[in-house]
Amino acid sequence: MPSSQNPAVLSPESQKLVEQFHLEDVASHLLRRAHFMAEELFNAEFAAEAITPRQKAALVVVFQHPGLTQNALAGHLFMDRNTVAEMVKRLCANGLLQRTSAQNDQRAYQLYLTPAGTDLLDRVLPRDFEVERKLLERLPEEYRPLFLKCLKLMVVPDNT
């Protein structure tokens, strides 16, 4: 282990890279910080609602596709099935979703929004658009569509 008597020695190539390294220019670091900022804004606005951004997205997707399966929901949310299963379990326990056995596959569950889930979306969605506006407000207005396009290019699989 390096100590003050025996300092760490990097290869010349790595030493040059360390000298050029600026954390404020590292995309993954900036994306992580932006993600935390987005989470903070959402949590501050919706603390009383006790809902997470992923739960809100799940409720919206189920509203848009009533009767979809948990596996299909996981696909829409780009989340793993086990995580979605746990989230669905909590949303059902909170009375926001209803889960029924799928008619064509007894191993699968179909999901439906409950009246309480619909009421929650009615309260959250208008304010959610304001959270999104606040998130992007530091960007010049003309850059916002380009920023979103760049994020989409990063996360959408390449079809070439």
Q: What is the pLDDT of residues 89-140, one digit of tens each?
A: 999 999 999 999 888 877 888 999 999 999 999 999 999 999 999 999 999 9
Q: What is the pLDDT of residues 124-133, one digit of tens each?
A: 999 999 999 9
User: Under a CB-based contact definition with an 8 Å cutoff, are residues 114 and 95 in contact?
Assistant: yes
User: Under a CB-based contact definition with an 8 Å cutoff, are residues 69 and 109 in contact?
Assistant: yes
CA distance 110 to 131: 30
Per DSSP (E only), the strands in the chain are 97-101, 109-113
Tokens, residue 6: 């025996």
Looking at residue 7, its pLDDT comes to 77
Q: Residue 160: is its pLDDT beyond 80?
A: no
CA distance 45 to 128: 8
CA distance 127 to 53: 12
**Cβ neighbourhood burial of 140 (10 Å; 0-12, 13-18, 19+):** exposed
CA distance 128 to 99: 25
